[in-house]
Amino acid sequence: MNNSIVFWELASHDQEKSVRFFREVFGWEITFDETLGFYTVDPGTSCSGPIDGGIFTLRKAKLPFLTLYIEVEEIEKKAEEITAAGGFIVEEPFRISERSKICIFNEPSGVSFGMIQRI
């Protein structure tokens, strides 16, 4: 075991709206688990392997936070889809290095996520 992140949770104000959003924009397979009483995401559709991470000191933000990044192929196009599906772009796509662009967005209930595009 290499201590990789293998699970995540999204506590939403409107789970149905959040589920629709991630199905529509990212094509994730999400099903309701009667036994657990909540939706589960097929890891094959939302994660392709170990998840890298980073730790840093706050600069702009006033409170600590966690952001999960979703890798996409066309970040500008995906940002448009997010807006069309009821999400909100917090930070428009921008280059963070020669090899990557990122974008921060809120899904419809207001929870923040990020997208990354490898160039």
Residues near 104 by beta carbon (within 8 Å), at least 6 away in sequence? 67, 89, 90, 91, 112, 113, 114
CA distances from 113 to 1, 41, 54, 117 (A): 27, 16, 15, 14
**CB-CB contact of 113 with 107 (8 Å):** yes
pLDDT at 1 over 50: no
13 pLDDT tier (thresholds 50, 70, 90):
confident
pLDDT at 50 over 70: no
CATH number at residue 107: 3.10.180.10
65 pLDDT tier (thresholds 50, 70, 90):
confident
Residue 1 placed within a domain: no
Which residue has tokens 């589920």?
Answer: 19
- Average per-residue pLDDT for the chain: 86
pTM to 2 decimal places: 0.79
Residue 85 placed within a domain: yes
